Chains A and B, each alone.
Chain A
Amino acid sequence: MRGFVVSLVIAAIASAGCSSSTQPQPTASAAPAAADPPLEPGRQLSALAPSNLAKPRPKPPFEVTGNWFIDVSKNPEAWRFGPPYPKLTPAAQVHWDAAKKYTAEGKVYRDDIGQCWPAGLPLIMTRYWPMAMVQIPTAIYMISGFMNSVRIVYLDGRKHTDLDIIVRTYNGESIGTWEGDTLVVDTIGFRGDHHWMDQGGVAIPAGEQLHIVERFRMVDNQLEIEYTMTDPDHWEGEWKSTKRFNRVIDEDIQEVSCLPDLNEHLQSTTSKTQVLR
């Protein structure tokens, strides 16, 4: 029994390895991890299950806990993932052409984010709002200041959910693994409706085959994320883009909702002639 308790303590310390050294060290009081009941067959331990948190893991190379904001100091359009844009398929080219045409006419084409649909990945990462990230041993919880969109990157070694049971979402299902000093995040399981890769005069759909690989690194006190994105329904080959994010230390995210009365008072979002479907 004693050996069991010791192993739990060691596991708890290991799991807390990414925490500040000023935090109290876990003691035998961490033992409730043992209280997790056995899982039903086929179930995955929650990222917040004490026994999952307590599993021994190597100390991560870096932590992303903080508020992050896209670096637009050199380019205010850096929130976009192009140009350059990839060669589009005919299915996507239709939307690209329509957006260019309507923009030239002073109209807006399918601005679903403006109509309160979720921005989704990748655009949610580069809104002009801070992204709060909290890293624990098993996951990174991200909450965007924009509409409080939630994204979870699992770090606990799980595999992607089978596509025949996955619940598709606009931010998808993200699994992170460490490769040296880089966190590689693989995301699939996207919704393919009302989901776009750009906004404001550029319309490229994001479909259910969208696959995004992000390589997170800490570079010069910035968070760098290198994006490699494929969606054979909408473009050819790999669409690559690298973003840098700055820490925000004087601002926390707030509750932000897209409420019906908001759009009623923003004519730019409500006009029937402006937002073409």
Chain B
Amino acid sequence: MKSVLLGAWAVVLAFAVPALAHHSPAAFDRSKEVKLVGTVKEFRWQNPHTWIEVLVPDEKGKEVLWGVELTSPTYLVRAGWKSNIIKPGDKVTVVVNPVRSGEPAGIFRSMTLADGRVLTERPARLGTPDSK
């Protein structure tokens, strides 16, 4: 199984995606999803964005460092996250919307832990299905 399935996960989202709190949302291709199967290198629980770095082997087995950005801890807590929910070395599967530039980076959609738990960001007390 390929570690990175670019394109195979492509979907067209049925709703608009709001702006990120920090920077332009234009960098991300919300019509595509990429599945990253790898190992956590670092997890930073901070404002305004939490982020995860994941080492993902490519087709040739070379490890590529992917940057995954998430919303703020305030919203993650509401979705059941804790600051120690993952740690370096953990095996994870992360789904992201990739950046359009082709760099190994994306914005978080969901994460499956080794024990099968699936984590998402909290959709919204704001009244929209995908608010961040």
Where the two chains meet, the residues of A that have a C-beta atom closer than 8 Å to any C-beta of B are 69, 71-77, 79-80, 103, 106-109, 111, 113-115, 127-129, 146-147, 199-201, 251, 254-258, 262, 265-269, 271, 273-274
Contact = CB atoms under 8 A, between A and B. Distances in A.
Interface in B68-110: 69, 72, 74, 99-101, 103-105, 107
Given A262-B49, A268-B99, A128 B21 contact: yes
A73 B19 CA distance: 14
A268 B69 contact: yes
Interface of B is mostly: loop
A interface: dominant SS = loop
B19 A200 contact: yes
Contact of B21 (A108, A127, A257): A127
Interface string B100-124: 1101110100000000000000000
B60 interface: no
Contacts, number: 121
Given A128-B132, A201-B24, A72 B103 contact: no
A199 B48 CA distance: 17
Contacts of B26: 103, 107-109, 111, 200-201
B28 A268 contact: yes
* 9 nearest A-B pairs in the assembled complex, by CB-CB distance: A114-B23, A73-B127, A106-B100, A267-B105, A268-B27, A111-B24, A256-B47, A76-B18, A200-B24
A266 B48 contact: no
A193 B17 CA distance: 28
A86 B100 CA distance: 29
